Amino acid sequence: MAITQNTLIGKSKGSVGNATFTTWKGRNVLKSKAQNAYSNPTAVQVQNNNRFGIIVAFARLLRSMYKIGFSEIATDMTEYNKFVQLNNPEAFDTSQGNELTVLADQVILAKGTGPKITSVTSMGVVGGGDFDPVILQSPENKSNANSTLYVTVFVQNTPAVRGTTSVAIDPETGGDSNPSITVPGSVVGDTVIFFIKDSVTGKISDSFVSEITA
């Protein structure tokens, strides 16, 4: 995809050969159809293609989260493309041959210049999937009152998402907040990814990973 913002061209439409002019986020954009680059792919190329396919499928499960999580920084591409860019291939383990295991602690669901989560503690399951994390934020960069904490729970490093939710948080002295979070079916060993959207600035924190403990 090439951006073709040009005062001589103005708003361009239509196709030329394999390329099509369109408008995206107020800009002229030239898109081309995907080409099959490998007529006889190697084993590594097949593995990379499989990994990309898994990420694309995985992205569909997480769309509601990364659309918010990357909304601040995805200025020159879609939130989906930003998700794929940042999570390919670091979040996937190929040590099991063709079996790809999601390394949930490496998944990036949000990135921005907003409040900074420095630690998450007290992640024990209370019952019925309830867990009560204590979110510690940086005193120099913490969220305003009634900001939103977004939560995604993964099933113990598998490509399965147990659930997502969001809750309002009110940072206390030092940046602590203690929301009660319910994601049905959550168990000890699940990986949880948090990020915050500030209620005043609208800025997003980088996602932070923790694990539900006993």
Tens of pLDDT, residue by residue over 165-177, are: 999 887 754 455 6
pLDDT tens-digit series, residues 32-48: 555 555 567 777 676 66
Q: What is the pLDDT of residue 173?
A: 46
* 206, amino acid identity: D
Cβ-based neighbours of 99, under 8 Å, separated by 6 or more: none
Q: Which of 34-43, 71-80, 137-146, 185-194 has the lowest mean pLDDT?
A: 34-43
pTM over 0.85: no
Q: What is the mean pLDDT of residues 53-81?
A: 88
| pLDDT value, residue 110 | 97
Domains of the chain: 2-32 (no CATH), 43-106 (no CATH), 117-211 (2.60.40.1940)
* Sign of the four-CA dihedral 100, 112, 114, 137: positive
Q: With bands split at pLDDT 50, 70 and 90, how would you rate the model's confidence at 7?
A: very low
Is residue 92 within 8 A of residue 100, CB to CB? The reply is: yes
